[in-house]
Structure 1
């Protein structure tokens, strides 16, 4: 029987072969440090009207409540930085939503990785997560040595920046565990805090989600408060401001995922084109995109808010 170090090495090797840029492994146990942080974040109302964040409090902190006899958490990152960007003089969407919805693409890769692990080790019970379940993905990535959390609360890597998705595999087998990432390479830099037009970035790597442009343009189903007028800097779905100004993102390299490429018409749309968008055009440009989360009516609402 191979030792745990060998298993972990082979899993990381396979993860990279599958397209994941980074892979770290940590022991599945209670996230003690995160418990008070999450409790305070919710008490302060930083989740706004995202009431689902109040659910499954215990499961968010303990993967053993998500999978019986969980022993290991594999944390992975997947690059989405695009080769080409939208023009500056148009309404913008976050780069992660340029192409097809990442949930489906990465979930498929996690299934393949689980199959590889079963062939390597034998019978394994596991659950795969891609930003759609009560898992504190950045905490696990940090604990698994993948990177550190910046002042904008996003996970950062020295040689890659922050334009990547995070995903997890929770397994009921022991593996060799990586050391947590403890260094903070943001130093005294406050570029993300200074650039946020809605003052959503607070001290101590905390985001007031109820003030974030992404919250208003994606999560909020009500009318956008008039107090936010002229603060969105032309973002109609999501926001990349705090990432665009981050010095570490000068190391971002274009992804090689064919399915993340946008519909050709995305880059030719002017502000006027967006203001006159029809549901038919919406369905064509965003056929399999995460932008569909906000639905046609939601995107129209956002565009109207920007143009008034």
Structure 2
């Protein structure tokens, strides 16, 4: 077995040991197909107030500009699908934010993976990324054969659907590269039909500035008029396009204790949420990604839903 094959096998075995759903490897090179898509998306202002998307255009498309000497991109998936979800008729939180902030949980695992690889393979260098730098993670995961980018713009896998985080290691060693899989969305338009704000304006194209997740998390100003009665009780994020996707019938509950929610998150009804204090907010979402929107942001989102 060649060193490339041996190293690739070590990486995938270690990724599995650390609890990652799957691991794929691709060559670190310019993402030629993604360049015009990203450019047009930015020109159409589909990123709204997410101005950071305009930064580091070249680095987003070329990992060798992001990590000097890089040769391989390791893409990894980490499951967050919960065993139990919130009750009916309550203000909803996106499933990815039920437990502890994924950045911290997965970053720790990536660091451990890097240390193990340096120990077993030897002289290698690189960087780990969890939604924390200009990396087009879905494009790399698709290039690495972990799934295809669906009509809702999320990565989809026939085996596990889409309820998982994507992370990367960009390394300076040559490896055996995986090949992309084919698209299996077919003629299905469930995600497009279900999106209440028409953010998925055509297959494979999402206007981020119209997405409920954008309004409830990224938007710092007041939510604009025109979207009343369309939030369907989502106060942080939105899972509608994923919940209706037929491939997510294959989602299985995660095995990560740190992603388990505070009991109140599952039991609270609308009145409980409307009466929430800052102290209770800090307790329920102590180390959660919901902290991004802050207590005032969550109250703003609920108020918008109430007044719709």
- Listed one character per residue, the Cα deviations across residues 146-179 of structure 1 (whole Å, up to 9, x for unaligned) are 1001100000000100000000000011111111
Shift of 1:92: 0.1
C-alpha distance in structure 1 between counterparts of 2:115 and 2:2, whole Å: 18
Cross-structure match for 2:24: 24
Shift of 1:276: 1.1
Structure 2 residues not aligned, in runs of 5+: none
Cross-structure match for 1:61: 61
| 1:1-308 alignment runs, 5 A limit | 3-181=3-181, 183-308=182-307
C-alpha distance in structure 1 between counterparts of 2:69 and 2:180, whole Å: 22
C-alpha distance in structure 1 between counterparts of 2:137 and 2:99, whole Å: 22
When normalised by structure 1's length, the TM-score is: 0.98
Determine if contact 2:228/2:305 at 8 Å carries over to the other structure. Answer: yes
When normalised by structure 2's length, the TM-score is: 0.98
C-alpha distance in structure 1 between counterparts of 2:239 and 2:25, whole Å: 28
Determine if contact 2:192/2:203 at 8 Å carries over to the other structure. Answer: no
C-alpha distance in structure 2 between counterparts of 1:273 and 1:301, whole Å: 16
Shift of 1:265: 1.1
* SS state at 1:307 partner: helix
- Listed one character per residue, the Cα deviations across residues 34-62 of structure 1 (whole Å, up to 9, x for unaligned) are 00000000000100111110000000000
Shift of 1:11: 0.8
* SS state at 1:236 partner: strand
Structure 1 residues not aligned, in runs of 5+: none
Please, what is the CA RMSD of the aligned residues? 0.9
* SS state at 1:169 partner: strand
Shift of 1:2: 5.6
CA pair 2-112 structure 1, distance change in 2 beyond 3 A: farther
Instruction: Give the stretch that moved more between structures: 209-218 or 263-272.
Output: 263-272
C-alpha distance in structure 2 between counterparts of 1:226 and 1:255, whole Å: 38
C-alpha distance in structure 2 between counterparts of 1:111 and 1:9, whole Å: 18
* SS state at 2:293 partner: helix
C-alpha distance in structure 2 between counterparts of 1:268 and 1:187, whole Å: 38
- Listed one character per residue, the Cα deviations across residues 39-88 of structure 1 (whole Å, up to 9, x for unaligned) are 00000010011111000000000000111110000000000000000012
Shift of 1:202: 2.5
C-alpha distance in structure 1 between counterparts of 2:145 and 2:118, whole Å: 24
Shift of 1:279: 0.2
* SS state at 2:33 partner: helix
- Listed one character per residue, the Cα deviations across residues 104-161 of structure 1 (whole Å, up to 9, x for unaligned) are 0000000011011101211211100001210000000000001001100000000100
Q: Displaced runs of 4+ in structure 1, greater than 4 A?
A: none
C-alpha distance in structure 2 between counterparts of 1:287 and 1:229, whole Å: 30
Instruction: Give the stretch that moved more between structures: 123-132 or 212-221.
Output: 123-132
* SS state at 1:26 partner: strand
